[in-house]
Structure 1
Amino acid sequence: MLVRTAYRLETGLREAASRVALRIGWTAAVLPYPGYGTQGRARVLGRVLLAPTATDPAARRGVPGWQRLLTLERPGVDVVVELGGSRRTVRSDEGGIVDATLDVRMPEGRATATLTVGERYDTATVHVAPDDARLGVVCDIDDTAWVTNLHDPLRAVWRTLARSSGGRRAVPGMAGLLQALRGRYPDAPVVYLSNGPWNLAGPVARFLEHSGFPAGPLLMTDWGITPRAWFRDGQAHKRSSLERLVEDFPQVSWVLIGDDGEHDPDLYGEFAARHPDRVAAIALRQVVPRPRERAVADDPPPDSDHDGSTAARAPSGTLVVRAPDGTGLLRGLRDALGVEPDRAGDDDVGW
């Protein structure tokens, strides 16, 4: 009862603020997010917000995270999505999110979709993988790509709410790991899957680009109250996103990259158990002093390498590699992906 009351209060305040914004001349605008495509289909993502007519919501830079949470999402708005000659009208959901699937065949590489609401429009990048891609990468963000310290809640809140993307620190070796995977498998789609809010999608994308990570779509979620819970279920978001990737990329087997600070070991292990033929390997960065034992890698005992990395088989048979950084994970993944290690030097993370 209390949760439902709080949800109605939050919704009422947003609607009241939206009415005020509309009276002073604000209009609906689309904030685009990077999407993906393959097998004759494309997924285009964005969000409808209220903004002053002379303001581009996507142009904000250097803004602390807490300010990015102060947005007026606009649900129930029709958005025209166009890509490669295909056109579809979709309606934004209760959080203003636009998630459109178009049946359109595009050449591999980057494509540009146009999202129009009223007289305002913007363009979204769509990363198109070739139909014959066989390996893909799913990478978590918090404590996998950038340092958040989610196991230390006060530090995590400070980094999320007080800093912009320019103040974030990359996890050592992780960009090199993803670049090495793309170097060995140039057609591999790379998808960034996070429980972080869509409000931080801009800073996340800029951080990934500036830190040398390969480009790819973002799959994020909403924070805030739902009619049934104080917080949205991040595990459910990741679980459903992985299942959607199975549907959208029927030919791809995934390398799942995350960390052991929260739920990634369990989620990835469950996914591998459901789809053993769709998981090439699981790579987990160790972020706590003594990683908790997980079902994904408890039998047989892991083999330890000199750099602190360990490797074991999950009950599904999937290889699970653990290491403190991306360099250790890269070394652990080499044999599993059928590539001879580069013995030029221990500091060389190339294939």
Structure 2
Amino acid sequence: MSRPHAAAIIEDAFNEQVERLLRGRGWGNRVVTHIGYGTSTYVRVFARIVLGRRGEAGPPERQDATGALVPRRYDRGWRVFVTAPAAGVPVVVTIGDREVYGRSDRGGYIDVVAHDHGLGPGWQQVVVAAQGTDPVPADIFVVGDDVTFGIVSDIDDTVITTMLPRPMIAAWNTFVRSGKSRRAVAGMAPMYRRLLAAHRGAPIVYLSTGAWNTTPTLTRFLVEAGYPLGPFLMTDWGATNTGWFRSGQEHKRSALHRLARDFPHITWLLVGDDGQHDPQIYAEFAEARPDRVGAVCIRQLTPTEQVLSHPMGRAEGPHRGWASRTAPTFLAPDGDGLLRMLDEAGMVGEPVAADEQPSRPPVT
């Protein structure tokens, strides 16, 4: 397009006024980092620059069993959305002795790719610093060159269940519930741990249409529910340069294809649910890149969950017309059933010894 959509122009003007007002009151830049990923040749670093009161610290953090940083407490849902992005802020990402420079986008987001980083496989850390801030560590999971297996997992109704009509889930989780009130889907965490235990150094990537703002709360929830940690690929809710709202389906499609390009030697296990568009998106991806998909696992929602997921009804049955013709597709109501089917198909493998699993060095 020759110029941004009116929605983006309006949003940018509003954010500019808010930023001017808050900076006039003494607010400054604050860095929020997210888990990134990489290979032996590059790393992809995620962060966001928002405005905060001078001297205001972010949520206290601790290390989980892998060494990754996890928020110590839950924020009430609406709190994570009451943020003011800082656009166009210079950023320095320090990787060992090397510095890489970037700048926050119109939403305050940082997505920096750095090559020749010198980091080994497993959990690593880089440091992100914005203009006027102290350096903040950012976790990175580096995938070794010998890794050929990985998991891509949806979040809502796949690893977390809410039992609410789909149109209400975002608003309820955003403005009312705390992360601690959500429930884990039975058997999914043990399934992921078992699969990763059988594939040394394999990544798990959480792909969702949810907002980046919720990532710290989701991270803590997943750790406390026993899920392995991994990078999140989320979205920025709101206006874009092409329309009033961004497409969640297109976000998932483009993210899957980028993962295929970023990890050309990995065959993915795609995990989602049959409540919305995961089956169709995964089937399309498997058709387009049959050598990049080992299997598709779909968690079947209960009849009650199906009604809540589609309060206006659906045109066709939940399992018609989307099964991949190039990748095995397994359907079960929980992780226990999916793991059993994968095991019967010989797709699980034997666990790797604990001392052979990659671990991250202590935080300094």
Which is further off, 136-145 or 12-21?
12-21
For 1:14, the equivalent position in structure 2 comes to 15
For 2:153, the equivalent position in structure 1 comes to 139
2:252 pairs, out of 232, 235, 238, with 238
Residues 151, 268 of structure 2: 8 Å contact kept: yes
> In the TM superposition, what are the counterparts of 1:16-35 in structure 2 within 5 Å?
16-35=17-36
Structure 1 unaligned regions, length at least 5: 298-313, 343-351
Mark the CA change 1:157 to 1:118 in structure 2 (over 3 Å): closer, same or farther.
Answer: closer
TM-score (norm 2): 0.83
Q: Deviations over 1:221-243 (max 9, x none)?
A: 11112243332111111111111
Question: What is the CA-CA distance between 1:155 and the residue it aligns to?
Answer: 4.9
Residues 39, 249 of structure 1: 8 Å contact kept: no
SS in 2 for 1:95: coil
Mark the CA change 1:337 to 1:157 in structure 2 (over 3 Å): closer, same or farther.
Answer: farther
Q: Deviations over 1:124-160 (max 9, x none)?
A: 0001121100100011111111113465433553234
For 2:321, the equivalent position in structure 1 comes to 295
For 2:92, the equivalent position in structure 1 comes to 80
> How many angstroms apart in 1 are the aligned matches of 2:136 and 2:23?
20
SS in 2 for 1:46: strand
> How many angstroms apart in 1 are the aligned matches of 2:5 and 2:111?
26
> How many angstroms apart in 2 are the aligned matches of 1:155 and 1:238?
19
Higher RCO structure (Cα 8 Å, ≥6 apart): 2
Query: RMSD of the alignment, in Å?
Result: 2.1
Aligned pairs, how many?
323
For 2:358, the equivalent position in structure 1 comes to none
Mark the CA change 1:294 to 1:92 in structure 2 (over 3 Å): closer, same or farther.
Answer: farther
Residues 31, 58 of structure 1: 8 Å contact kept: no
SS in 2 for 1:296: coil
Residues 31, 46 of structure 1: 8 Å contact kept: yes
Question: What is the CA-CA distance between 1:333 and the residue it aligns to?
Answer: 1.3
For 2:311, the equivalent position in structure 1 comes to none
Alignment of 1:330 onto 2:339: yes
> In the TM superposition, what are the counterparts of 1:197-212 in structure 2 within 5 Å?
197-212=211-226
What one-letter code is carried by the residue in structure 2 that aligns with 1:134?
Answer: T
For 2:45, the equivalent position in structure 1 comes to 44
Residues 40, 120 of structure 2: 8 Å contact kept: no
1:112 pairs, out of 125, 142, 145, with 125
> How many angstroms apart in 2 are the aligned matches of 1:161 and 1:212?
25
2:106 pairs, out of 79, 94, 103, with 94
Question: What is the CA-CA distance between 1:4 and the residue it aligns to?
Answer: 4.9
For 1:161, the equivalent position in structure 2 comes to 175
Structure 2 unaligned regions, length at least 5: 61-70, 307-316, 352-364
SS in 2 for 1:284: strand
Mark the CA change 1:175 to 1:94 in structure 2 (over 3 Å): closer, same or farther.
Answer: same
